[in-house]
């Protein structure tokens, strides 16, 4: 990774962290005037614990980079709302995914999962509250037309509900102890992981006034990097370490999950990553030089080590 891109990634991450810190503090301070605010302090703490514990901020970075591919001058604060919104949605999904009823994990981003650090009911409610905060941030998005705000809400709702992430998670849970065909595995990942990645790109595009053709190009790019993200995740589960990953290494094998390396081998999975990157690069060729960050992000997604 070249130095300039490493600095760009760090800057996007810091920008998203600051936005998340500010927006989550803001809702707490709006509530703090209430007589019984001490009763719900634990809920806010659990939300902030899950939100501000060192994620890579890939989805916020995709929001910033897709807007930059279209209109680098579009409202900075609007993009911060959108970036924070997608990350709140993502954090909620991780909190719920780690619960005993789902993956029952103890470690997330190198720290005890939310239900381990707090308790199960608090984790469920913190996830619920992050979910709704995501939509509030979009509805309040400054500097955009109301039609754009509605499009943002629709994009995030469609990507995260039954025909997106939740649907993918449901298929994943239903497939436990089954050996699905590669097409079904692909569909499951396209919904579970890919939908939110595509939404992040589309939402950056909506804020930057993308036309239908440009949204389609972002969508195609998102399909390829979304799948690449998952293939890399499967490889890291084998090749990474618990310490660097911040979550239990080998959990796919331990849980008998069907994975790309399981189907294609590690070499075959690496070849697939390269193919997916080439397809992704072609998809954003229409944006010319302005898609440089999206191109670099594609490379980062297939070469990251956690």
Residue 192 lies near ligand GRG (rule: CB under 6 A): yes
Burial class (CB in 10 A: 0-12, 13-18, 19+), 243: exposed
Q: Which stretch binds ligand GRG (CB under 6 A): 51-59, 207-215, 253-261, 270-278?
A: 51-59
Work out whether 190 is an interface residue with ligand GRG (CB under 6 A): no
Q: Which of 88, 141, 144, 165: binder of ligand GRG (CB under 6 A)?
A: 165
Q: Which stretch binds ligand GRG (CB under 6 A): 36-44, 65-73, 161-169, 174-182?
A: 161-169
Q: Is 164 in the site for ligand GRG (CB under 6 A)?
A: no
Greatest pairwise CA separation for the chain in angstroms:
60
Please state the closest distance from residue 142 (CB atom) to ligand GRG, in A: 25
- Give the separation between CA 117 and CA 39, rounded to whole angstroms: 18
Strands 107-108 and 111-112: antiparallel
- Cβ atoms of 266 and 239 closer than 8 Å: yes
Q: Hey, which residues between 74 and 93 contact ligand GRG (CB under 6 A)?
A: 90, 93
Binding of residue 56 to ligand GRG (CB under 6 A): yes
108 bridge partner residues: 111
DSSP 152-165: HHHHHHHHHSTTTH
3 state DSSP class of 247: coil
Region of 250 on the Ramachandran plot (φ > 0 left; ψ -120 to 50 alpha; else beta):
left
| Pick 67 or 123: Cβ nearer ligand GRG | 123
Nearer to ligand GRG, 109 or 116 (CB): 109
Task: Specify the residue, 39 or 101, whose C-beta has the smaller distance to ligand GRG.
Answer: 101
Contact flag: residue 202 with ligand GRG (CB under 6 A): no
Q: Residue 134 or residue 165: which is nearer to ligand GRG going by CB?
A: 165
Among 233, 293, 294, 297, binds ligand GRG (CB under 6 A): 233
* Site of tokens 């999206």: 294
235 contacts 269 by C-beta, under 8 angstroms: yes
Residue, CB closest to ligand GRG: 55
Q: Minimum distance between the CB of residue 91 and ligand GRG, rounded to whole angstroms?
A: 7
CB of 165 to ligand GRG, least distance (A): 5
Given 81, 96, 198, 202, the residue binding ligand GRG (CB under 6 A): 96
Task: Kindly tell me which of 17 and 97 has the beta carbon lying closer to ligand GRG.
Answer: 97
> DSSP readout, 33-80?
TSTTHHHHHHHHHHHHHHHSS----HHHHHHHHHHHHH-TTS-HHHHH
Bridge partners of residue 111, in order along the sequence = 108
From candidates 55, 194, 204, 298, binder to ligand GRG by CB under 6 A:
55
Q: 19 CB contacts (<8 Å, ≥6 apart)? A: 60, 80, 81, 83, 84
List contacts with ligand GRG (CB under 6 A). 55-56, 58, 90, 93-94, 96-97, 102, 109, 165-166, 169, 192-193, 230, 233
């Amino acid at each position: 990774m070249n130095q300039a891109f490493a600095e760009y990634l760090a800057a996007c991450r810091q920008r998203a962290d600051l936005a998340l810190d500010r927006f989550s503090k803001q809702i707490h301070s709006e509530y703090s005037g209430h007589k019984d605010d001490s009763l719900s302090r634990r809920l806010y703490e659990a939300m902030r614990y899950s939100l501000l514990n060192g994620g890579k901020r890939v989805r916020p970075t995709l929001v910033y980079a897709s807007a930059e591919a279209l209109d680098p001058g579009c409202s900075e604060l609007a993009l911060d709302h959108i970036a924070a919104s997608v990350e709140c949605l993502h954090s909620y999904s991780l909190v719920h995914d780690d619960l005993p009823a789902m993956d029952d994990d103890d470690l997330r981003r190198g720290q005890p999962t939310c239900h381990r650090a707090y308790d199960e009911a608090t984790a469920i409610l913190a996830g619920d509250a992050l979910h709704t905060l995501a939509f509030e941030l979009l509805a309040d998005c400054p500097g955009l037309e109301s039609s754009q705000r509605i499009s943002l809400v629709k994009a995030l709702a469609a990507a995260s509900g039954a025909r997106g992430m939740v649907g993918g998670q449901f298929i994943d849970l239903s497939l436990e102890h089954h050996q699905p065909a590669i097409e079904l595995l692909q569909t499951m990942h396209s919904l579970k992981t890919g939908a939110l990645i595509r939404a992040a790109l589309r939402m950056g595009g909506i804020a930057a006034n993308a036309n239908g053709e440009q949204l389609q190009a972002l969508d195609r790019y998102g399909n390829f990097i979304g799948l690449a993200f998952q293939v890399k995740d499967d490889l890291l589960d084998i090749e990474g370490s618990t310490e660097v990953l911040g979550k239990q290494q080998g959990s796919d094998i331990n849980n008998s999950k069907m994975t790309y390396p399981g189907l294609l081998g590690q070499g075959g999975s690496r070849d697939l990553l390269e193919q997916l990157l080439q397809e992704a690069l072609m998809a954003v060729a229409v944006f010319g030089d302005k898609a440089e960050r999206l191109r670099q992000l594609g490379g980062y997604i297939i070469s990251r080590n956690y």
